[in-house]
Each structure stands twice: as C-alpha cells, then as structure tokens.
Amino acid sequence: MKTLIGLLLPLLLPFSAEAGGQADFCKTLEHAGGRYIVCSFDPAKSMIRIYDRDHVSGEGYRSFSNLSSALWRQHMFSVFAMNGGMYHSDYSPVGLFVENGVERSPIITGGGWGNFHLLPNGVFYLKGAMAGVLETQAYVSAGLKPDFATQSGPMLVIDGKLHPRFLPDSDSLKRRNGVGVSRDGMVHFAISENTVRFYDFATLFRDVLDAPNALYLDGTISSVDIPAMKRRDSLFPMGPIIAVVDRVPD
C-alpha cells in the first residue's frame, strides 16, 4: 500500500488547488544566518487539518507515512505536512488539541517546565475558512470554538512584538519549526534547515512573513513532508501533525 501511494502521489499532486510540480506553495529563504523552507497556504482555499491518531485503532500516527496511509483509506492525500506540537511519552498532545470540532485534550494555562511553558505560549487554530494564532489567555478570552486547534509554546510573535524572553545573542541553537498567520490571512509554515536561535526565528515571521502572531511548534525533531519536493523527514516520531490535504479525484 505504501509503495502504491508513493507511485501515485506525483500523479495526484497536480489536481490539488495549491500544489504545483515544484511545490509552488513553498520557497527557500535565508534570514539572519538561517536557511528556511517556508510553505504558505490560503485557509479559504486549502484543507488544513491537524491530526493525532487513528481513532479506530487508537494508535498515534507518529509518522508521515502512517498518516498518508490513513488518508489514502479515506480517498485523500497530503500535499504538505509538518509536526504540529509537543507531546507526552505516549505521543498524545500536550495542551489543547481539537480535531473536527471535538476537544480531545484540554488547554493548559499554568506554568511548568520546558519550551511549552516558556510563557506566553499559544494556540494555532482553524475555523471555517480562516486560521489564526493567539496567545493562550487571549484564546481563552475569545471563547472560540474551532474546527481544529493545537497548543504549543512559546509564542514567537505576540501582536507584532517578539517574545520577551528571546535574546538576540542567545547561544541556544536548534533546528526549529513554527506557524504564523500574516495580515492577509495566509498561513505560513516555516522550518529551519540549520540550527537557529529563537530570536532570529521569530524575526523571520515578524519582519519577512508579516505575521503579527506566530507560534513555535517544536525543535530538534522538526520535520516536514513535501511530496512535490520529494522530501519526507522520518528521523523522529511525532505527536500532532498539521497537514494540508486534498481529495483523490474520481
């Protein structure tokens, strides 16, 4: 089945409203000494979804290949996917996770250890034809009922300002990935190809991608799946996965 999917995906990708032969929704950027792949989607035209596990077996997907197999059984395929948040030892989401309007994991508003709790943290959400990123307390105050949502942390950019804990000369360098929504409503997913500091990663979203709010998704394990670029990272297991999907044409 996986072999069949691999053979057919290149034929199916041109049917996607967003996909092109060379992944024209993605571009490579250099910024502040970092190299990035940035993939951008209009949530009004693309089906952006957030996945966690197969609800029949109860098992987490953990990999892009497992998610692709599950999508194929639903007569769908992904044109893009990225690890979509932090997770516990059983690969279940840390913090808020909403799938198809059902809250499967509650929001966390308190402090704790690790990057997730480097407050403020935040939520990436999808509702109807729009997407957004909000700081956690702002999300709670807004009373949103999203179709999909994942909580992570720290926030990279909050209302146009960088996270107050980020240092321009920090020596903490890691591969990182995140998501931001620009002022025109486009969703931008970015992953670094080399190790970068939080500060520089945040300025990519604020200054280059025009995203007044952006959220860190994870580091070190940062992974991306872009079939049109023949790119599928598989070094690390994952928890939540954000994917842009399309239907297999009849």
| pLDDT tens sequence across 104-146 | 999 999 988 889 999 999 999 999 999 999 999 999 999 999 9
- pLDDT, one tens digit per residue, over 5-53 is 444 544 444 433 333 345 799 999 999 999 999 999 999 999 999 999 9
Q: Calculate mean pLDDT across residues 184-195.
A: 99
Q: What is the pLDDT of residue 214?
A: 99
Burial (0-12, 13-18, 19+ Cβ within 10 Å), 52:
buried
**How far apart are the two ends of the chain, measured CA to CA in Å?**
19
> What are the C-alpha distances in Å from 187 to residues 4, 8, 50, 75, 121?
31, 27, 14, 25, 18
Average pLDDT, the chain: 92
What integer pLDDT is reported at residue 56 of this predicted model?
85
Q: Is the pLDDT of residue 203 over 90?
A: yes
* Residue among 48, 119, 111 at smallest CA distance from 84: 48
Q: What is residue 22's predicted lDDT score, i.e. its pLDDT?
A: 55
Distance from C-alpha of 186 to C-alpha of 173, rounded to nearest angstrom = 28
Residue 1 has pLDDT above 60, yes or no: no
- Write the CB contacts of 42 (distance below 8 Å, at least 6 apart in sequence): 18, 185, 186, 187
Mean pLDDT value across residues 101-106? 98
Residue 4 has pLDDT above 80, yes or no: no
pLDDT digits (tens, 9 = 90+) for 148-182: 999 999 999 999 999 999 999 999 999 999 999 99
Dist. CA 143–CA 157, nearest whole Å: 21
As a whole number of angstroms, the distance between CA 146 and CA 210 comes to 23
As beta bridge partners, residue 174 has 196
How far apart are the C-alpha atoms of 217 and 93, rounded to whole Å? 12
